[in-house]
Amino acid sequence: MPCVADWLNNPFSIVQGIFAQNSPNSDWEKKVTDYFKEKLKENNATNWVPSLNDVPVHYLKPNSLVKFRCMVQDMFDPEFYMGVYETVDPNTNARVLHFGKYRDVAECGPQQEIDMNSSQTVTSERQTLYCVPVPAGCAVVLNPQFYAYISASQARVSPSTSYTPSRHKRSYEEDEDMEQHPSKQKEQHTGEKGPACLVKVYESWDTFKVNDVLEVYGILSVDPVLSIVSNEERDSSTLEPVEYMDIAEEQRVHSPPSSLVPRIHVILAHKLQHINPLLPACLNEEESKTFVSNFMSELSPVRAELLGFLTHALLGDSLAAEYLILHLISTVYARRDVLPLGKFTVNLSGCPKNSVFTEHIYRIIQQLVPASYRLQMTIENMNHSRFIPHKDYTANRLVSGILQLASNTSLVIDETQLEQGQLDTKGVHNVKALGNLITWQKVDYDFSYHQMEFPCNINVLITSEGRSLLPSDCQVQLQPQLIPPNMEEYMNSLLTAVLPSVLNKFRIYLSLLRLLDYSISDEVTKAVEEDFVEMRKNDPESITADDLHRTLLVARFLSLSAGQTTLSRERWLRAKQLEALRKARLQQQKCVNGNEL
């Protein structure tokens, strides 16, 4: 029985053992995955596996077992490799079988040669995924404030083995430090998020999709030979005809130096429901059920506190705060043919122009959700940024764009920055892409000769002065109750006032409620029906099918935000009431602005 250190530090010895016992039979592959699956099930075993997200690559032992939480940014073509090969010693003629799985280079001893003609050779297939740490598509940065806590919490559980860098402890202290002084956070804490990786998948790779968030357990490969490969190839390419140059470019991009982009040979991989480490990874398990029910029992004070917090942040506007909560727990839970259900894009209009207000709203959202991105909608940005990912055929890579985001990322679009000006073709395309994203929750990636549709699930919040030029599901006119003389100071003190433990509750609250199921009873359906018919009878202009759509959405999130998974009559009425309040404000605004739409 190998000890813990063995399967962690030297997983190849395990694989070799299983391979030697079972070959040439091919079930050794299944036995290997089963073995590791069992090992990882043991109590807290997953915590013992060092994570590439937290530990810099050079501190990790090559060929050891690592885990990595990442988003699939691109997929390469499947590659054929030597699954099983045979080496021969030219002196003794001794033949040995080897496995090529989980390896980049076919190993063979100094006195051996690989017999390429051997009848024992098995060619197999694997797929390479280009993965980046969540949610760092290209420009998207991890929410340092959010993850500050997380890496700290993981440092506590991670074993003090030799490869845990001492530096990690320091960062843990820094984190605690920062937790108390949020104003300091911005300048620090970048780069602690792990490298991009080439993740080699051996099984059922067709279930993985671009932008999926994965947690993979696999063997780290940073063989320096891989870098030599690229050097060699580059050297030889200079001797080759010019025509091969572009192939060389592709090779260069596809096999970057392993010190910068390590390879992970996946033994186990699974898609993540969410990326909030404060929550158990899988909510269906028994132990996580108690976690959920414990949290649910104290839900209403958390909600009240969160509402209060957001009300302060939104300058005393409790209605806007209410809608912001609904927005933050919204998620596309299903698609009905082309219609994404459950998206709830909020347009927060009436934001003061040229003030730091919108920036601070974003900072607060950053504190609350695991992944977010702030898009400043300036003419400059619209005309020059790359929103839509596109395929670079020279390098054969999908080049990421701003809109390549992991599911449930909060995208905050700041329209108050927009001045009058001319949009060029790119700008128009970008605006169109934003509109598509909001309306259909999909992004059309540019493949030059055609476009490919990638469904997404992104929470879009638009802050604007008047009504946004982008479509939205619901416009909320902000009505500040107080104007702080110094916005900066006001917001900062607001954040410092919140205890980290409370902040964590908010974080759990927002991530957890998104994952709950929801239903409507026949009885309530009937009531809603009656209501609708009644309202239409009185004034058909007052409520359209669209309004009903929206009210049902509001009712859904309102129920969920209170931890209720079915719609009650009271919630329905409350939803209607909220909608009425919101509409009244818009009406009021219309009167103030005269003929504004």
Partner 1 sequence: TLFTAIPLDFDISSPLTYGTPSSRVEGTPRSGVRGTPVRQRPDLGSARKARQVDLHSDGPAEDLVTAEQSLGQRLVIWGTDVNVASCKEKFQRFLQRFIDPVAKEDEDVGLDLNQPRYMQRLEEINIVGEPFLNVNCDHLRAFDENLYRQLICYPQEVIPTFDMATNEIFFDRYPDSILEHQIQVRPYNALKTRNMRSLNPEDIDQLITISGMVIRSSQLIPEMQEAFFKCQVCAFTTRVEIDRGRIAEPSVCKNCNTTHSMALIHNRSMFSDKQMIKLQESPEDMPAGQTPHTVALFAHNDLVDKVQPGDRVNVTGIYRAVPVRVNPRVSVVKSVYKTHIDVIHYRKTDSKRLHGVDEETEQKIFTEERVELLKELSTKADIYERLSSALAPSIYEHEDIKKGILLQLFGGSRKDFTHTGRGNFRAEINILLCGDPGTSKSQLLQYVHNLVPRGQYTSGKGSSAVGLTAYVMKDPETRQLVLQTGALVLSDNGICCIDEFDKMNESTRSVLHEVMEQQTLSIAKAGIICQLNARTSILAAANPIESQWNPKKTTIENIQLPHTLLSRFDLIFLMLDPRDEAYDRRLARHLVSLYYQSEEKLEEEYMDMAVLRDYIAFARSYIHPRLSEEASQALIEAYVDMRKIGSGRGMVSAYPRQLESLIRLAEAHAKVRFSEKVETTDVEEAKRLHREALKQSATDPRTGIVDISILTTGMSATARKRKEELAQALRKLIQTKGKTPALKYQQLFEDLRAQSDTAVTKDMFDEALRALADDDFLTVTGKTVRLL
Task: Report 363-402 residues binding partner 1 (CB under 8 A).
Answer: 391, 393-394, 396, 398
Residues 50-109 interacting with partner 1 (rule: CB under 8 A): 74-75, 77-82, 85, 100, 103-106, 108
Residue from 141, 268, 341, 502 that binds partner 1 (CB under 8 A)? 341
Query: Does 544 participate in binding partner 1 (rule CB under 8 A)?
Result: yes
Query: Does 523 participate in binding partner 1 (rule CB under 8 A)?
Result: no
CB 65 within 8 A of CB 52: no
Q: Which amino acid is at 399?
A: V
Residues 565-584 interacting with partner 1 (rule: CB under 8 A): 567
In whole angstroms, give the CA distance from residue 135 to residue 399.
Answer: 15
The tokens describing 309, both together, are 């917090």
Residue from 116, 282, 482, 483 that binds partner 1 (CB under 8 A)? 116
Q: Which is nearer to partner 1, 350 or 389 (CB)?
A: 389
Residue from 540, 591, 592, 595 that binds partner 1 (CB under 8 A)? 540
Query: Does 12 participate in binding partner 1 (rule CB under 8 A)?
Result: no
> DSSP labels for 293-354?
HHHHHTHHHHHHHHHHHHHHHTTT-HHHHHHHHHHHT----EEETTEEES---EEEE-PPTT
* Phi, psi (deg, nearest 5) at residue 87: -110, 155
In whole angstroms, give the CA distance from residue 187 to residue 295.
Answer: 34
Query: Does 336 participate in binding partner 1 (rule CB under 8 A)?
Result: yes
Query: Does 553 participate in binding partner 1 (rule CB under 8 A)?
Result: yes
The tokens describing 66, both together, are 């690592």
> DSSP labels for 24-39?
TSTTHHHHHHHHHHHH
The tokens describing 375, both together, are 């898009």
| Part in contact with partner 1 (CB under 8 A); list of ranges 27-35, 118-126, 266-274, 291-299 | 118-126
Query: Does 564 participate in binding partner 1 (rule CB under 8 A)?
Result: no
C-alpha angle 179/182/187, rounded to 5°? 110
Peptide bond just before 135 cis, omega within 30 deg: yes
In whole angstroms, give the CA distance from residue 325 to residue 307.
Answer: 7
Q: Which is nearer to partner 1, 418 or 543 (CB)?
A: 543
Residue from 15, 201, 210, 461 that binds partner 1 (CB under 8 A)? 210
Q: Which is nearer to partner 1, 60 or 456 (CB)?
A: 456
Query: Does 448 participate in binding partner 1 (rule CB under 8 A)?
Result: yes
* Phi, psi (deg, nearest 5) at residue 332: -75, 105
In whole angstroms, give the CA distance from residue 456 to residue 302.
Answer: 29
Burial of residue 137 (number of CB atoms within 10 Å: 0-12, 13-18, 19+): buried
Residues 462-521 interacting with partner 1 (rule: CB under 8 A): 518-520
Query: Does 533 participate in binding partner 1 (rule CB under 8 A)?
Result: yes
CB 8 within 8 A of CB 64: yes
Residue from 34, 240, 298, 488 that binds partner 1 (CB under 8 A)? 240
Q: Which is nearer to partner 1, 109 or 500 (CB)?
A: 109
Q: Which is nearer to partner 1, 25 or 111 (CB)?
A: 111
| Shortest distance (Å) from residue 573 CB to partner 1 | 15
| Shortest distance (Å) from residue 520 CB to partner 1 | 4
Query: Does 287 participate in binding partner 1 (rule CB under 8 A)?
Result: no
